[in-house]
Structures are given as structure tokens and as C-alpha cells.
Structure 1
Amino acid sequence: MTVEFTNAPLGGLLIKKMDAVTKEPLSDVTFKVTDIKGAVVGESNGEYRTDETGTIYIPQLVGGFIVQEIKTKDGYILDNTAKTTYIEKGRVYSMEFFNQPENSFVIQKLDGETKAPLADATIKVTTVDDQFIGQYTTDESGFITIAGLKPGTYKVQELKAPEGYNLDNTVKLVHLKQNEPQKLELYNYKKAALIIYKVDKNTQEPLEGAKFKVTEIDGTYVGDYITGTDGRITVPTLEPGWYVVTETAAPNGYNIDDVPSKNVQVKSGSPVTVKFENDKNATLRIEKTDIVTGEPMENVEFSIVRDDGKTYGKYYTDKRGEINLEYMFPAGTYLIRETNTRKGYALDTNVRKVTLDWGDDKLIEWENYPLASIRIEKIDKENDEPMANVTFELFDPNKKSLGTYKTDAKGRIELNDMFLGGTTYYLKEETPEGYLPQEGYLAVETRWGKTTYVDIENEPIMGKVQIHKTAADNNPITGTLKGDGLKGAKFTIYDADGKKVDVLTTDSKGYAESDWLRYGEYTMKETTSPLYFLLSDETIHFEIVNDGETVEIERTNQSTLLKTNVEKSGYKETMGGSVIRYDIYNIQNQSMVPLENFYLHESLPADAAYITRLFTGTFNQNLNYTIYYKTNKTGTFRVLKDNLFTDRVYEIDCTKGLMAGEYITDIKFDFGTVDVGFREVERPFLYCKTYDNLPNGYQFTNRAEVGGTYEMQKVTAEDTFTTKIYAPTIDRGKLPKTGY
């Protein structure tokens, strides 16, 4: 273990001696230094002499010391006023002393009782005939030194006394002689003091915070004061005379003195004490709880009025349900009212009467009943969905209206903390549109602090729709006669928001009936027509208005027209081995419905001619199509070109890629599904070549066919063109004989 010891250096004392007029240092001035107990310092009986710099330095000192001048320098007046200082470790303290020259005029200001020097007194000096010499202020030793005055008589008058002292403005005469110093001592006496003492009337304990006003007996204002922790106010430096002390405000929790003002005579030289006593006010506490749960109730408002009508204000319970009004009430009788309670509770209108004596501490317990709640839930009986915007009127037990309310998006009305418990209230519903009415009043029983749940169902107005579908004309495909019921017509029903609610299909007699439909407006569209009848584009409007009704609707369908068309033209006569052209035109879907598997088939007799080149033409509907071919060697179709566009003309060489002796005899366009009105824009045409050996007069027929299907019903049309072979006979005449 290492133990360290440290030492702090001792302090020191520096004494400075100077001329009081010139402030020049004075040497050869002797001082005596003792400690606070009177023991001398140093080895020379405590005596030290200033050096040429006018200083004395004494090291190694700690504690309290007294320094006194005991011998001064020739030509100066001795100042034997003792001064005390306290020196701390490690610090050097400086003390300054001044001497007045002997040929000067010195004024010293002293306390008239203790003879202690007084600083800050202001003195005016004039000649005897009032010529102004100067205005001076005493230093900390009470001195004023005036040098250079000529012999003669002078006037000395105090203009301002030191703080806390009475002014002595008597004019003093002083006679100065040549080379003789003159010292004039002037005395001041302390002003009188007033002590105000405030205590508790019962305990006599001092009271802090009492306010007082002090005036002179004629009403001249002196000041306002507040008692400290010792219950006292000291008003110093008063001129002797009569004063009035008035209590203006008692400390918190105390009542003002019964005699708030007292007259006091202040005499010079000794303080005078005046005592005031206060009664402690009474304390009132209120405790507020829920009568059902016992829980404290915050923010409940109370008012307090004294029985003489004085109002003490409004107060609110805190988180603990308490109001603590400590030391607020003088003795008397008070009326306490609950003026506003917390939301969800019944206001207690009873008035409590409380009598308080000085210093009382009383607790008033107060309970509140929590209000009852009602929650209404409105439900659609048919689908169990909540019903929004349903209006209810609420009535009190005397069936006086309390207001109207509407259900929210969840079908609820929540009336929280609004009702007295143990009471019957009534509800009346304003029937919503589309529902059967609820008759009469609905009684609702409430309980304190509880919620009464009221579930109310509404039965919607429901109805049906019946559609009867018949033929508008005779149908040659099905044999259906005008007026016959049509089976298989499909209808979709939509509500007013466009939501699909039902799909109907007519029976063999043409009838279809919906499920139950709710009150409101509807539309119905035919989505599938009966077979070989046209689909109607009509939007049918109907309403369900009355409960249980069936809305009857009659509608007809026209028969479907299935028809196609094609025409062709070409050479009526040609020679064997010739190339001829055939045009195909008026290629049409003349049906009233789209056709599936729509095709164009061009066929040549294999023993007469074959196709060499094809120009496809263009068509009025945007489609992709494929061209197939068949040859004299095959009995089935094969793809010639696919992924063709109807808005372009394609030129196709029909001789490439074939075997020797193989020729194309059939061309087939496959369009897929075409809409109503399909036809060519630029007609297709093809080039054919006849065989060389065809005899004169030989005829062959070129056939073009178009067709398609609708609901498995095939529809076709064709056109033919016959071409005749012309083979002229050449007459070569009679040949001559040869060989003779």
C-alpha cells in the first residue's frame, strides 16, 4: 500500500501605506499585527515597518488577523483604526492604509453610537461667504482629506447620509491656521426599523408568504413586503414617527387577519415589532366513483358556494377521482353541486350542505350511475346482410321524440351512454324502400351501465318475372309455325347496378320463370336464341314493385335466313392446249347470322383442263385463311398456302412442286367463321390450260361452290360455267401421185 501526503502552501499578508492625498507610498510607518485571539505575529512583538515602497509582506500566515497602525511618519496624522482580515491557504491578501498630511483639512464621518467609520457620506465645503470649494465623499475609513486650503473660516455641510442613517445637514464652521492640520469629526445615527411578524393563530408557528403594505400615518406610501420563512419582514431605515401596517394577502391556506391594519410608532435607535395572527382555512375533499364498478371518475365538475352567496368557483376531479381543496375555506356553511359529469354518466342533481370550522379536513364521497346504451342492428331477413341508411325515431317513456337516427354501413345504430337505467324507451322504424313495413312501436328496456341489443329484421318485397318466347314467322328449317312457343331461348337478368342475378331458359312451350327477385328495376337480355332463330338485341326493362307479383313478358323471334351466293364467268369456247381465265365473283354470306367453316371451292374436270395460276382477290372482313388443292393424282386436299390475309392479293403458281403428269384440278379457300355480309372486294380469278387432244365440240363444265354451317345446318350455293373445244379441220387438197 502507498500512502501519499500533500501539503497546501500557507498564505501571506501584504500591507500597503500611502499618502491619502497624493497616493504616494509612505515608508517608516509602524504596524502591529496580531491574530484574532490577540497573539502577536513574528519575533518583534508583532511590530513591522514599511519599506521604501511603503509595503510590508508577512508570509506563512493562515487564519484571522488584526492590523493596526501604531506609529506614523513625521508630517502625517496617525490613523490607528484597526482592520481585520482572514487569510486562506495558498492566497496572499492585500490591505491598504492611508495617512493624512498634517497641514491638511481632514473630515471623518463616524457612527454616533459605535464610533465606527462611515463610508459614502457626501459633504459640501464652501468659504464663509459661500464660495464653493468642493463636494466630497467619505472613503471606507470615513475620511475626506482636502489639501491646499488657505487659512480662514469654512462651512461644512452633509448633503447625503450613508445608507441606513439619518441625515445631519447642520452647517459646521471650521477655522484653519497656517501649517496646522485641522480634523473635523461628524456623526450620524442609524434610522429606526420596523419588524412585522406573522404567525399561525393556533400553533404560533411563523408563516411565510403573507403580504403587507406600509404607509406613513398620513397615507404616504412606504412599500409592499412579503414575510420570509421566519415569518418576518424587517423594514429598515424609517424616520421616527407613526406608521400604518396593513395585511393585504394571507399566506396560502390562511384567512386574512380579522384586524388587517395596525398603527405602529417607530422610535429612533431601536426596532419595533408588530405581530399579526392568521386562522388556518378548512380543507374540503371530494371523492367521485362509479356506483357499479367502484372505479374513480376523472373530470367531473363541481361548484362550491358559501351560504352567504359567495362563489368559490368550479373544480374537476383528477385521475384518482379526487378534488383536494386544501386550506381554501374559512369557517362557514357551503353548498356543493355536481354541475357536469363525465360523458356516459347520469348527473347527480342532489345538493350537499357542509359546515366547516377553522382547520377542518372533510371528505365528501359522491357516486354516479353509468348511463345505459342501446345498439340497434338492422338485418335483411332474406340474405342476412346488414341494412344501411334505415331511419329510426327514438321516444322517451312518455313517447316524446328524442331524435332520429340512421343505420351505418354495418346496419347499426350505436347510442352509447345516453339513457337512464331501468327505463322503457320506444323505437319506430321508417320503412325502407323495397321492404315490407314494420307496424307500431318497439319497446326497449335499459339497465344502468349496460347495453341493450335490439336486432330487427326486415323482409324484402319479392317478385318474379316470366318470359314467353314465340316464333314471329314460319321457320322453313325447323318447321315451326308462327306463334309456336320456342324452346331453348336463354335470357340473363341484371339488377339496376348491372349485376347478373339470374339466367332463364325457355321450355318446350316457350316459357321461362325467374327465381324470387327483390324489389327494384331490372333489365333482361336474350343471350342465346332458339335454334335457327335470330338473336334479339333488345334490352327488356321491368320492375318488381309488389310483394309476390309475377311480371309477364311476351317476346318473339324471327327465323334465321341461311343463304350464300357465288357466280363465275370465263371463256365460252377455246382450243385444245390453250390457256383460259375464269373469274369468281359475288361470293357472299347472305345469311342473317354468321357462318362457320365458310369456304370457296373451284373445281375443273381432270380430263379436260388443269389450273396453272391463281390470283386470290381481297375480301371485306379481316380474316386469315388457308388455300388447299387437289390434283388429278390424289383424292384428298393438301395445303397450298396458309396464313393468308383477306386484304391482300396473292399470285400463286400452281405448277410447282408436282410430280410428272400431276396437275391441280381443285382449289379450296377455307375462311373459318365469317360474319353477316361477307363478300369479295377484288374478285379472285385463275388461269387454266386445256389438254391438247380434246376433240372439236368437246364440252367441259367448271364448277364454283361456296358454303358454311350454322348450328350444324349446312348452307351452300354454286355456279357453273361450260366451255366448248373448237378444233378446226384443215383441207389440204388432193395429193399428187408419186413414184412413177
Structure 2
Amino acid sequence: MSKILSKILVVLLLSIIFISNAHQMVNAAFEISEAYIQKIGDADYHLKYYKEEKGMYTYCTCSIVGHYQDGKFYPAYCLNRDMHGVGAVENYSVDVDSLIDNNAVWRAVKNGYPYKSAGEMGLSSDFDAFAVTKFAIYCLIGQADINLYTADEGDEEGQAMLNALHNLVNIGLNGSGSFKNELKISQKGELTEDGEYYFLVYKVTSGTTIQSYDIKSVSGLSNGELITDTKGNIKTSFNSGENFKIKIPKQSLNSDKNINIQIEAKLKSYPLYYGKTRITGTQNYLLTANSYQNINSEINTNLKLNTGKILINKVDSDTKEAIEDAEFELYNSKNEKLGTYLTNKNGKIEIPNLYQGKYYLKETKTNENYILDENTEFSVDVVYNKTSTIDIENKHKTGNLTINKVDKDNNDFAIENVGFELYSEDSKLIGSYFTDKNGKIEIKDLRTGNYRLKEISTNEWYNLADETNLEIKWNETTEKTIENELKKGQIRIIKVDKDNHEVKLKNVVFEVLDAKDNVLEKITTNEDGEALTKEYSLRDYGKLRLREIETNELYDLNNEIKEIVLEENQIKDIVFENEKIKGKVKIVKKTSEKSDITGLEKGAVLEGVKFEIYNENGKIVDTLQTDSEGIAISKDLEKGKYKIKEVETSKWYLLDENERNVEVTTNNQIITLTLENQPAKPDEEIVKTGPEKALAREEIEYRINIQNTGNVPLDNFIWEDEIPTDYIKVNKMNLGTFNQDNSYNLYYKTNLKNEYILLLEDVSSKTAEEIDFSKELSSDEYVTNIKIDFGTVYVGFKTENETIIKAKVNSNVKRDDIFENKVLLTSNYKGFNLSKPSSWKTTIYEILPLTGM
């Protein structure tokens, strides 16, 4: 029972592997439809296979079976290992209706027997080659395991078969290439003209080798088509790589074509046929055969042949210019209306998608400016893939024009010999014309439409008239009356500041006078400084005179009378200038007294003093500086009040902060100011006082007063005290106070530190406190110098409470020793250095013992 089930499973498996992969090759011409399978021998024993159920290797048996085709033997390989086949049973027939397209099996058989000889497979006999190919198929369809095959080591042919078996299985599983029997026909390019024919080129291709092909049939064409090679030779059989042509006569291209082409080709595809047993319970077979296979294919080509065109050019019969909006109807040879069309702005209609044949055009409407010819029909022959062009003309509609030329003020007065030019709407000159004695021009047969009439000459006292637009209508006379106006002129006064023409003056009054000084009118300038006269005829007023009678209060009246010649049809601009009332300020700068720094005497001139001049609105209008003669002169200042302010003075002189007021009232006025500067007097004072006598070990005090005694601020204001340490040792110091609110730094030196040490920083000048130096010093250290740096002090700076330095007289001083305590005050002003010393001498004395007791 288990063997029966096993066989059923094998059959089902093969159905999945082969039957599901087999397909009806409806385009394949099978060379065999049935095969008679017969045995021709048995292979020798070489290969062994491990039988699991027996637990041992046994020799593989193999019947050599196949079928004959055209007298040649072709192997047949069983596909159901556990079923009986030819050799185990009598010979029998199988039916062929499909191909096996398992690519792994196809690769193995293509590289096995019979497509490869035994020698090519490395074997000594065809029977051995058959056996190896058969066992490889079993491995590839899952009916055997390649790893369970073996051969005796001493069996050379067996070892060769084992190697060949592994090679075929490897090719099947991992090789490249697949079964291909497709055949493709493709069209190359489009329908191409060739003499009296049009032709299509076709290419035949396949994924495998084509030996040859034949064209079996061509349908869908009329009589007269040709089948040729690419050189035009008529034939139906072609070799591999050859293209073929289908040539169609031109006269048959009057309708769409649906062409069907059928071919048969011989392909080298190594086909594997599926042979289905007719006897239940027996083997199905894989049949080898001729490596070439006949394959059929076909192609359908749909040709849309409505590619002809009609191009209508609608033009003016005289100018040949394009006519837009003309309407045409198109009819075929059966008098069937195909459509209605309008010409575009280029006068063209393009009618596409027409089949080859005869057509008729009828003009049903035309452009409104043209006359329609209703009795004309136009025949057009359309050829495949060509454009048939037809030119159709229309005559333009016409009308007449009458021109009347008259005086503008008196239309009854006709003007003779006035010249005109007439232009079309697109500015093309139609002609030149002149009025007759009645002032008339008559022009006949003008094309309808819009025109432009331009006057080019007239009577000397008249202006040319403006251009006139007019319209000519069909079968009508258009009449135009053109007026001429006498030539006139006008004057525009432009009133400006003499120095700055961008400044325009309003409310300036002028009189307009004739040649006899009669006042014709008064005019006043506006916000833009302009005043415009009336228009005056050139015939009556050749010249006019202008006189200024009132002007702006800040300006002088212009007394010039200007005579103006009028120009025809022009507004003549006349510029009148007014000069503003202006004056100058002259400053003379001197010293108020002798300078100890510069040595200049009182009344000497000062160079380089700068001033600013402000107007009444507080705006700076000028900046000036005295020269080497001590003089500074301003630019012209307009009428008004001004303020003079000194902003910078000479280096060694004080700035004069007094402002001076001046007023310019008349033109060319010069206002002179003589101003003095006080010289800078930098000076300082320091006074140091102390005891006149002192005892050894006595506590003594020194008092210091300082002051800025000059009239300028002093920079780097520093006093420095040099302590006579051989006689005294400073231990404390009372800080003084000062009348100005600023700050200073306190420094000291010691016998152990030769550089100044900052003790206090930014000390307020209003702070009074006692400093104990002993807190800052080591046991053998003492103060040798004291320095106070005030930075900048201002005029009047002085001591309010004295600075006091406290010291103790050394114990080793001697009677009548005299020692001096020195202090030095230094400062500078703009590079001018000051130095003032002060000192105090003290004598040592002793207290004598009392006597006479």
C-alpha cells in the first residue's frame, strides 16, 4: 500500500513540476505529436545510490530508451522514478501536446546527452552519457539526492560519470540561459515614400538563433502590394538577420489599412517535449528531438491614412495681404459637407486629417471689408501625407472722401492750396493732395476702413491743423471739414533766486506791455515762481515787454525791462532773477593782555579762532576761522538776525563764551566785530609747614595746603612728599578735604619697596579720615615717599582742611641737627608743565637738666 501511495505522490509532484510549467505553444509548430518509446539496450553498472530503506549502496540500473524521428534515434527520459517504464514493460506510445519549460532541467539536458556527445561529457560511451543525463534529471525534479550517488574508487568510468553528474546538476541549478522559443516581428520606422509606392520595414528577432523564416501570408491590403528585402528584391523567404518590406501602391492609400502579417521561423531552441503515457501506471517521458523548432508569429499594423492637408491662403486681390475671418465650407467627392472653417489673422486655414481624394471648397462669408464671390467653387486634390495649397483672392470694398478747409473763426472762409497726406490705418501713405480755390479735395475709390489725414502745409499766418482720423464706408462719400487757427504765442515768466535757480519766488508782480508801453495785463508769480501771459497773435503782436513792479521783501527789485519776440504756438520761458539782500560779518580777534606763555603783547592778533553763526531758527549757517591777521569774514548772509558764537580758540588763550547778536538789514552790508581773548595763565601753589624744633622720639606733624591759582584747568595735578627718614618715621596721615568734588589716588614707597604702592583709590575730595601706615608695614619697614594724584583740577581748586602727615623723630638724632622735609607739586596744561616745591626745616634740641637745686 505504501508503494502505491509513493507512486501517486511522485505522479502528483511531476504534474506540479512539468504540467503546470508546460504551456500550449499555439505559435509553435510541433514536429512530433506522438512518439513510440522503445528500448535499445542497458547501461553498464558504474554508479551507486544509497538506499536508506536498506542502509546500503546499490548499483543504479538504466535502460536506454528513446524514439526515432526521420530515422534518427532521440533519447527519452522517464519522469516517474518509482513507476514502470519501457524496459520494465513492453514498448509503448506517448502523446505530445506541450513543451517542458523547467529551465533547470532544460539547462542540464542541453548540456547532456544527446546534445553533447559522450566525449564532450568526459565519458567513454553514449549509454553512460544517457545514464548520467537521466540521473541528473531525477536530482533536478526532486526524485533523487545528488549527494547519495557514488562510484568505486578504482572504477575510472564510474568516477567520470559521477563528475559528469555533479556538473550537470550544478549547471541546472546555477547555470545561465533559459528555454526561449519566442519570435517577435517589429515595425521599423513609419510609412516611407518610394517612387510610386510607400513601404514599411519589419524586423524579425528572437531570444535564440533564427535559422530562417518565411512569410506565410499578408492580409488587409488591396491588390498590388509587394514583399521585398531591403534592396527591393521580391521574395518571401529570408535568412536570419534579414529585414523585409511591405510595399503599398500610392493609389491605394485612400482609406485606413489594418495589415496582418504571418511568418514561420526555424529556431534553435533545444525543445524538450512532454510525452504523456497512454497506459495508466506507466512512465511519462521527457523527449529530446531535433534542436531546431518551427515557430509561428504574426503582427498587426494599423495605418491611419488621413494625413493629407488643405492649406487655404486668403489674400487681397490688389495688395496680396492676408484676409482674416473669411468662411469656407469643405465637401468631399460625394458632395458631403465635412466642415466650416474661418481664416486666421494670417489669412490661412489649415484643414488636416484628410484622406487622399478630390475635395471642393465654397466661400460662404468673407471679411466685412471685402466683396463675397458667391458663385465660385474651388476644387482641390488631396494626396496622402501631403499639403495641397490653394490661393483665393477677394476684392476690397471702396468709398469716397471730400475734404473742406476753412478758417477756424470764420468757417465761410475757404483756404486754398493747403497740403494734406492721407495714410492708411497701418500708416502706409496713400497720396498727397492740395485744396483747390474753394478749399476742397475730392478722392475717389478709397478702400473702406480707417484712415489718418495729416496737414503738411498751410497759409503763413495759420497753424497746421491736428491730424484727423476718419472712416471710409462702402459706396458712401465721407466729408471732413478741417479748421485752421491763427498762429499765437505766449510768455511764461519764471522768477528765481539769482544765486540758486532752484529757489522760485512767489507773489512777484509784472506788467505786460506792448511796443508802445501800453499795459496789456498784470501777472503775479505762483507758488512755483511762474506767471503765464495770455495768448497773443503773432500777426498783431510781434513783440511784448515785461516789467517787474513788486517783489519779495527779502530781495532787491529787478529794474530790467525785457523785450520778448513771440514764437508761433510756443510758450516762451523767460527767467527773471532777483538778488537777495545779503551782508557779511567781519570778526577781528585780539589778545586782551600779554601772555606769559606765548609772549604776545596786549592787542596782538590771534589766528585759528573758530566761530559759528546761527540764524533765528538756531540753525548753523556758517563756520569761520581767523587767519594770520586775526580776521574771519563770513559768507554772504541773507537779510535777518544772527547769533555769533566762539567755539574754539588759540591754544594758549581762553574761550570767549559770550554770544554776540547782529542783524543784516541792507544789501552788501559788512558788520565788524572786534573781540578779545584772555591769555591762559596756568599756575599752582603748595605750602608745607611743620615744627621749627623737635626732640628725639617726639611726635610731630606737617601740614600741606595746595591750590590751582591759574585761570585754566590743570592736568596730572600731583604732589609728592620726600620723607627725611634719617630723622623721622611717618606713621599716620590725616586726609584733607578740598573745595571741588573730585577724587584722587594715594600712593607710598618704603625702604623695602622702591615702586609706588597704591594705598587708596578714588578717594573723594570731601572725605577726611586718618590713615595708619603701620598697618601696611612689616617690622623693619618704613615709609620713604608719599604721593597724591588728583588727575585734573579746575580753576579755583584749593584745600579746605589741611592734609596732615604725622611722624615720630628718630631716637638717634643729635642736638642741633637740622633736617628738611620737601614736597613737590607738579601739573601741566596742554603740554605746558608746572612744578612748585615747598619744604620745612626743623632743628633738634634737648631739654637740659635742672641745676641749682
Larger strand fraction of residues? 1
Larger helix fraction of residues? 2
- TM norm. shorter chain > 0.5: no
- Compute the TM-score of the two structures, normalised by the length of structure 1: 0.43
